[in-house]
Structures are given as structure tokens and as C-alpha cells.
């Protein structure tokens, strides 16, 4: 680094940690407003059916019921992330398409009355043929779930670069494999909840979300209200993982109930509703074909990936694309063809995820190990050979401006003693490596950028106003830390106003790995402008050259003469006296190609920058029982330059659990459109006793665009930890593992298949 920082790069305790660990932090379900009503939702008992009639009259007559809403109370607006995917009315109109779909909402004086009212709503259904398997749904003659999607194909992303078929024909070795992973649940500890209050034409909403401005715009459209009359307020969020990126049916139901009743309304989903009726994770089937030269250079890649999208588009184009992109951002693909199909089925809606693309990513990395084995190469070397470097372009024309794959690989391998461990493996032990890259700030239209406002109070303390949203990873603390570094005041002197659509300017939210890179840049620029104003006033007051002044410890100081200094509050007050209070704005828009589009034109600069990561896992496998354990894990992550090293390490460690250990157990199970494991008793999440020894390695590439050189802080580990464990298990067993998660039954099935097929 060119200079030493005061607080950037330190292990700082997060500014929100004390309130959370002591239970003082309020979440949506904790909110209490005068005259607040309790909301409950009537949900579809059918995976696919026509709605013939809804009679709410008995429910309305029940004492204590203040409002009942159906689709008739909405405005007929359908939601979708893009104009061409607007297919979801949020409350079923004439048809239900999955078990648990919102049909009607009730607001009553208490929960018991609301539940009783649901029983009094009469809905007449006519069941329709349903389809639950995406490949069956794509066949001719399958039940059509939406008229606008032939063969139920919601989104088809086609990417083709180079001469793929010719490259395969010339390749020394070609391998093709198919991998499958069922969906997963987000398992956020906080079930989804919404509080809505409506008065004087203004709607206030408190809801766990990853992008307040995105949420407000969607509700403005759904409710046909002016955007300046829809306010999404800041609230603590009990986990995100991709689940709270977009507007939810519960937001619309609760808002309509508040408008109709004239009272504040709170909706809190049960754990089962949280799993069944909010977006969960796509099932994925990936067929991967790879061609290489004798030296292991990848010459051709071909993918056919089918995603089970559930009943509506949701984040369709993005979800269909991201698994491919985070892989092409890591490796050099001169000739590549990708066909991703997101298919509509009569199951709950699917959305984005922190480790999206599990079968695709794990399958690619395992196949790379298989190819390396056939070529007699070390799996580490084949990755380094094909890894992208600074200055190179991805297959779809994004330039890498910092990092590259080689350094994370080498640092992870060194920390894990890769060569020694591989050479010393015993029976039933394996070691594996997973690699990936992640974009920082992908195109979201005019919401791709962020703006921040900062003001200095008359005591020299500061308030920063930013749209940055914190869903658990420490973004609020990060913003305060950046302001502290620039303004030369301690973090306790800084107030934060954030994630409130009325008070803050546009911001991408915690959505596209943009908080540090985009939002942090805006905070830094605003504070730098405020600093310029302070030093300008100070230079005149101190009769000293402005270029020799700096801010440190609440003081304006001379760089060359430490004895020449003045308290910052004196300067701030002087500015007030002169009618020029210290206040500044700063904005940042990442350098991305806004002509690029997810389906129509998937070429051009996709993100402002990219982070790179490599994980190494060691596993033990019991061949008799099929049980896998992960005793040791190394995660190397290129975050540019960490704002808070402890926060980055925490993200990496959490990612090991969410992906690296989850690959052994997590999956949703279905029967005829019914989710069989909607609670945390039947849905198996990793526990503390399942966690390995983790060694996080922070890789510093000092990004030229990032604030203080920073990039996103941990998602590469969440994307590649799954692959590392999969590759380690393959290394231990020596047989293909094509079905995830790696539960004991699947491990034994793979061993038996290899035995009967004669494989070693």
C-alpha cells in the first residue's frame, strides 16, 4: 500500500454488534405501532388450479376483522425484475400455480381472529394438470403454466464465443458429464415479516430487504402510487443470502390491508410459510463438456443447464446467467457455448442465492480434476494454467482490472500445505480445490450507482446519509469506517442514516456485491469533498497552505509541523458563521457497459471489477456408511484491500458453513408440489459441531477503482466452498459424484455404480 491508514484494514468491532448480541436490536417482527392489526394470508392448497369464485363475506362479518383483500383489491399489475418477465400478480387472480400461493389476506385485532377469518373465506377451485420436473415441463404436450412461455421455458440465455465445434474436434481430450443438485432453502433465522402503515396518502413499510429503493419502486408500480409516497424504512435484517433481494407477495398483501383498514398492519410468516411461500433456491441440472490440449489448456467449453424456476419469473434472467458468469470470470474460455434454460414448474418460486449454481460450479471443478488426472497433472496447476490474469478479458468481453486467479490459488495451497497433504493422504481421506470469481456491481439500470450525503455538525461530529443496506454482513459499519478514515474522526463521532428511501439517494443495495465497491466509493467521495471544504476554511483561518493540511484525531494538523494544529470543531463553526456549513455529496457509478443485457446482448463490460477466490477442503469418507466429514478448510479471497479484516474473515467463515458444509446435507424435498421439509427439524442445516477448522486467507490486490482498493468481501468463498468439498470427496473416493448434496445414500450409490461399472 502507498500509505498507512488509521482505521482501514484493521480488525474493528462492528458498530452494530453490541445491539445485536445483547438483543437490543429491533427487527420487523419486534415493531409495535398504535392500533396495529395482525395479518394472515390464505394460501393455495393446489399446485395448479383455476379460481372459480372467492367469497369473503363471512370473514368480513367476523367480529375483530378489520379488512380482507384479494386480487380484486389490487390494480392488476404484474411484477417481474424486467419488463419482459412481468408475470406475477403477487395475489392470485384467476389461477394458482403453486402450493402456498397468496390468494387472500386478512387483518384482524389479533392472530386468533385472523386465523379464524381465513377458515371463513370460501374459495372454489378447479384443479388443473400440473408439472413438477423442469425437463418434463419442457416437453411437447406438457401442461402449460403461463400462456406466454412456450414449452414452459421462462428464460433461455444463449452465449456463444469462438468456434466451439471446431475446437472440440481439435482437442486432445474431451470429457462430458452431467450433474444435478436439488434446491435449497435460505434458512434465514428471521422468518419473513412486513409492517405497513398508511396515512394521508403515504405508505410506510418496514421489511427485511436487500435493496430499499428497488423495493419501493416495485411497490409504487404494484399499488399505482407515486414513488414519493412509498417509503421503505431502515430495519435490521436477520439474514439475506439472496432471499430478500426483490419485492414479495407479503409486501403487497400487507400494504393493501393497511390501506383498506386505515391501521398499521403486521404480517409475520411462520417457519413453514417462510420456506414454502417465499423464494427459495433453483434445482439445477448441468451437462458440461470440456475439451483440452495435452498441456491442460482449455480449448472448448459447452454447457446445457436447466434451472427449475418454480411458478413465476422472479429474478429469471439473472439467475439463469450468474452460475456461468462467475465461472467465465475465473477461467479463460476461447471457445464457449452456454445454453441456460429457466423452466416454469408448479413449485414455489426460485430466486438468487449466495452459492447459486451448485451443480454447475461443483460439476465444472470436479470435471477439471478428472481431466487433470487423465493428463497426469496436479489439479492446482491446471487451474493456474487456465486462470484469468489482470488485463485479460472474459469470454463475454469484460476486462479484469485487478486480482486474477493465480495468487488466491497459490496462497490457499501454501496455507493448506497442498503438495504435502496430497502426498500423505490415507485411505478414506481426500483434498480438493474450488475456484471462482465474482462480479462487483452488475448492471441494474440507473440504480447501478450510489450517492452519499455527509454533513458536519457544529461539534465536529458527522452524519452520513447513504442508501447502503446491511443484511448482516457489516455494510453499515463499513460505511462508517470509510468516513472515519477520510474525516479523521473516530467511528463514535459518526451517525449513520441509511436504507431509508425518503432520506437517501438511489443505491443498488446489498444486491450485486456492490456495497463496498459502489456504495463505499460514494461515501468516500462525499467525505473527501467535505474534507476539502474543511481544509479550505482551515487554511484561511490558520494562514497555512491547504496542501500541507490534513485531518487527524478530530484536528486539522500540518503535515510538516505537528505543532501547528486546530480543533476541527472550530473550523466547522467558522463555516456556519460564514453561512457555508460543511456539507457534501459524493456519487459513484461503476464503469460498466449499459448496452449489455442478460438475454439479448450478453456481451460487454459486466462489472466495475471482479474478486477472485480459491478454497481448499480436506475430507474424510467412511466407505462403509458413506458419511463424509470436513475437518479442515482453507479459504483464500481477493477482496482488493479489506476495509475491516475481521468482517471479511467472518464472511469467509460463514460462507464455508453455508456452502462448504451444506454440500453434505442441505436439500429441499418435494412430492406433487408439496414441500416435505419446510422446517428446521426436517431441513438439515450445518450445526456448530459440523464446522471444520477454518483458516481464512485475505488476498490483497488493491483494486484501482475500489475505495481504498476494496472489492466485495467474501462471496467467492460462498461460491467455491461447495466445489472444494465436492472435489475433495471425489479425490477420496476416486469415483464420479454426479448428484448433490453428498449425503451417505448418494455416496454409497456412486460407489456401487462405479463397482458395477468396473471403475476404480
| pLDDT > 50? residue 655 | yes
**β-strand pairing of 173-181 with 153-161:** unpaired
Q: What are the pLDDT digits (tens) for 127-183?
A: 999 999 999 999 999 999 999 999 999 999 999 999 999 999 999 999 999 999 999
Burial class, 261, CB count within 10 angstroms (exposed 0-12 / middle 13-18 / buried 19+) = buried
What's the rounded Cα separation, in Å, for the pair 523 and 515? 10
With H, G, I as helix, E, B as strand and everything else as coil, classify residue 622: coil
Alpha-carbon dihedral sign for residues 385, 387, 389, 391: positive
| pLDDT > 70? residue 315 | yes
| pLDDT > 60? residue 99 | yes
Nine-digit cell string for 469 = 443496506
Would the pTM count as exceeding 0.85?
A: yes
pLDDT score of 3: 57
For the chain, give the percent of residues with pLDDT over 90.
Answer: 92
CB 162 within 8 A of CB 394: no
CB 456 within 8 A of CB 530: yes
Arithmetic mean of pLDDT over the chain: 95
Mean pLDDT, to the nearest integer, of 612-639?
97
Nine-digit cell string for 571 = 473550523
pLDDT score of 1: 40
| pLDDT > 60? residue 293 | yes
Mean pLDDT, to the nearest integer, of 489-513?
94
CB 400 within 8 A of CB 571: no
pLDDT band at 760 (very low <50, low <70, confident <90, very high): very low
Mean pLDDT, to the nearest integer, of 503-513?
90
With H, G, I as helix, E, B as strand and everything else as coil, classify residue 298: strand
| pLDDT > 80? residue 642 | yes
Q: What are the pLDDT digits (tens) for 6-64?
A: 999 999 999 898 998 999 999 999 999 999 999 999 999 999 999 999 999 999 999 99
pLDDT score of 578: 94
| pLDDT > 90? residue 441 | no
For the chain, give the percent of residues with pLDDT over 70.
Answer: 99
Structural domains of the chain sorted by starting position, each given as residue range(s) with its CATH number in brackets: 17-24+449-588 (3.30.365.10), 31-128+191-240+244-276 (3.90.1170.50), 280-443+595-757 (3.30.365.10)
pLDDT score of 757: 72
pLDDT band at 2 (very low <50, low <70, confident <90, very high): very low
> Taking the chain, what is the end-to-end CA distance rounded to the nearest angstrom?
50
CB 225 within 8 A of CB 75: no
Mean pLDDT, to the nearest integer, of 629-655?
96
Nine-digit cell string for 627 = 458419511
| pLDDT > 70? residue 207 | yes
Contacts of 17 (CB under 8 A, 6+ apart): none
pLDDT score of 754: 86
Question: Where is 198: in which H helix or E strand?
Answer: strand 193-199
Q: What are the pLDDT digits (tens) for 708-748?
A: 999 999 899 999 999 999 999 999 999 999 999 999 999 99
Contacts of 376 (CB under 8 A, 6+ apart): none
What's the rounded Cα separation, in Å, for the pair 78 and 100? 18
What's the rounded Cα separation, in Å, for the pair 375 and 58? 73
Mean pLDDT, to the nearest integer, of 321-331?
97
What's the rounded Cα separation, in Å, for the pair 714 and 706? 15
Mean pLDDT, to the nearest integer, of 318-335?
96
Q: Which residues pair with 206 in a beta bridge?
A: 195, 233
pLDDT band at 4 (very low <50, low <70, confident <90, very high): confident
What's the rounded Cα separation, in Å, for the pair 607 and 508? 13
What's the rounded Cα separation, in Å, for the pair 360 and 305? 8
What's the rounded Cα separation, in Å, for the pair 256 and 198? 9
Q: How far is CA 316 from the centre of its chain?
A: 14
Amino acid at each position: 500500500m502507498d500509505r498507512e491508514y488509521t482505521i482501514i484494514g484493521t480488525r474493528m468491532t462492528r458498530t452494530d454488534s453490541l445491539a445485536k448480541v445483547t438483543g437490543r436490536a429491533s427487527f420487523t417482527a419486534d415493531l409495535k405501532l398504535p392500533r396495529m392489526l395482525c395479518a394472515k394470508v390464505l394460501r393455495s392448497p393446489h399446485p395448479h388450479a383455476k379460481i372459480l369464485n372467492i367469497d369473503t363475506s363471512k370473514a368480513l362479518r367476523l367480529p375483530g376483522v378489520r379488512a380482507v383483500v384479494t386480487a380484486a383489491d389490487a390494480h392488476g399489475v404484474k411484477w417481474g425484475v424486467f419488463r419482459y418477465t412481468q408475470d406475477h400478480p403477487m395475489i392470485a387472480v384467476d389461477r394458482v400455480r403453486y402450493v402456498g400461493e397468496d390468494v387472500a389476506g386478512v387483518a384482524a385485532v389479533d392472530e386468533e381472529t385472523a386465523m379464524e377469518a381465513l377458515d371463513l373465506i370460501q374459495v372454489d377451485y378447479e384443479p388443473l394438470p400440473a408439472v413438477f420436473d423442469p425437463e418434463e415441463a419442457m416437453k411437447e404436450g406438457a401442461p402449460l403454466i403461463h400462456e406466454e412461455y412456450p414449452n414452459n421455458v421462462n428464460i433461455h440465455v444463449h452465449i456463444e464465443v469462438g468456434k466451439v465445434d471446431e475446437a472440440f474436434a481439435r482437442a486432445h481430450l474431451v470429457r462430458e458429464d452431467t450433474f444435478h443438485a436439488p434446491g435449497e432453502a435460505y434458512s434465514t433465522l428471521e422468518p419473513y415479516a412486513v409492517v405497513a402503515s398508511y396515512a394521508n396518502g403515504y405508505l410506510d413499510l418496514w421489511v427485511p430487504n436487500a435493496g430499499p429503493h428497488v423495493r419501493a419502486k416495485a411497490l409504487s408500480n404494484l399499488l399505482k402510487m407515486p414513488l414519493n409516497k412509498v417509503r421503505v424504512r431502515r430495519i435490521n435484517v436477520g439474514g439475506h443470502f439472496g432471499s430478500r433481494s426483490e419485492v414479495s407477495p407479503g409486501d403487497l398483501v400487507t400494504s393493501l390491508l393497511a390501506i383498506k383498514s386505515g391501521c398499521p398492519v403486521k404480517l409475520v410468516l411462520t417457519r413453514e410459510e417462510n420456506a414454502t411461500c417465499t423464494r427459495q433456491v433453483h434445482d439445477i441440472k448441468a451437462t458440461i463438456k470440456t475439451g483440452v490440449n495435452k498441456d491442460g489448456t482449455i480449448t472448448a467449453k459447452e454447457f446445457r443447464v436447466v434451472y427449475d424456476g418454480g411458478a413465476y419469473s422472479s429474478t429469471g434472467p439473472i439467475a439463469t446467467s450468474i452460475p456461468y458468469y462467475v465461472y467465465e470470470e475465473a477461467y479463460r474460455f476461447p471457445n464457449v457455448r452456454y445454453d441456460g434454460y429457466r423452466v416454469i414448474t408448479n413449485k414455489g418460486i426460485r430466486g438468487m442465492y449466495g452459492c447459486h449454481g451448485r451443480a454447475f460450479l461443483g460439476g465444472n471443478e470436479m470435471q477439471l480434476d478428472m481431466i487433470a488426472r487423465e493428463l497426469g497433472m496436479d489439479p492446482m496447476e491446471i487451474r493456474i494454467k487456465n486462470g484469468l490474469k489482470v488485463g485479460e478479458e472474459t469470454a463475454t468481453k469484460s476486462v479484469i482490472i485487478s486480482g486474477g486467479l493465480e495468487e488466491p490459488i497459490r496462497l490457499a495451497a501454501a496455507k493448506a500445505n497442498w503438495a504435502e497433504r496430497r502426498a500423505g493422504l490415507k485411505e478414506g481421506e481426500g483434498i480438493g480445490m474450488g475456484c471462482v470469481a465474482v462480479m462487483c456491481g452488475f448492471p441494474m439500470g440507473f440504480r447501478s450507482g450510489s450517492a452519499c450525503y455527509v454533513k458536519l455538525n457544529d461539534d465536529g461530529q458527522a452524519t452520513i446519509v447513504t442508501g447502503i443496506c446491511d443484511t448482516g454482513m457489516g455494510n453499515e459499519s463499513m460505511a462508517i469506517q470509510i468516513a472515519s478514515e477520510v474525516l479523521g474522526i473516530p467511528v463514535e463521532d459518526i451517525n449513520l442514516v441509511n436504507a431509508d428511501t425518503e432520506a437517501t439517494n438511489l443505491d443498488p443495495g446489498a444486491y450485486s456485491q456492490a456495497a463496498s465497491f459502489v456504495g463505499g466509493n460514494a461515501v468516500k467521495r462525499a467525505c473527501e469533498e467535505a474534507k476539502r471544504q474543511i481544509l479550505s476554511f482551515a487554511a484561511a483561518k490558520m494562514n497555512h497552505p491547504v496542501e500541507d493540511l490534513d485531518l487527524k484525531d478530530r484536528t486539522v494538523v500540518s503535515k510538516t509541523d505537528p505543532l501547528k494544529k486546530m480543533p476541527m470543531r472550530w473550523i466547522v463553526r467558522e463555516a456556519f458563521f460564514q453561512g457555508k456549513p460543511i456539507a457534501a455529496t459524493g456519487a459513484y457509478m461503476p464503469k460498466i457497459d449499459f448496452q449489455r443485457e442478460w438475454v439479448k446482448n450478453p456481451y460487454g463490460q459486466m462489472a466495475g471489477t471482479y474478486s477472485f477466490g480459491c478454497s481448499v477442503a480436506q475430507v474424510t469418507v467412511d466407505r462403509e456408511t458413506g458419511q463424509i466429514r470436513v475437518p479442515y478448510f482453507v479459504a483464500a479471497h481477493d477482496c482488493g484491500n479489506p476495509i475491516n479484516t475481521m468482517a471479511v474473515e467472518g464472511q469467509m467463515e460463514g460462507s464455508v458453513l453455508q456452502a462448504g458444509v451444506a454440500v453434505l446435507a442441505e436439500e429441499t424435498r418435494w412430492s406433487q408440489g408439496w414441500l416435505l421439509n419446510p422446517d428446521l427439524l426436517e431441513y438439515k442445516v450445518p450445526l456448530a459441531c459440523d464446522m471444520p477448522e477454518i483458516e481464512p486467507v485475505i488476498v490483497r490486490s488493491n483494486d484501482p477503482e475500489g475505495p481504498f482498493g476494496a472489492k466485495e468481501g467474501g462471496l467467492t468463498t460462498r461460491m467455491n466452498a461447495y466445489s472444494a468439498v465436492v472435489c475433495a470427496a471425489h479425490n477420496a473416493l476416486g469415483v464420479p459424484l454426479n448428484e448433490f448434496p453428498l449425503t451417505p445414500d448418494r455416496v454409497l450409490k456412486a460407489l456401487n455404480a462405479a463397482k458395477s461399472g468396473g471403475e476404480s
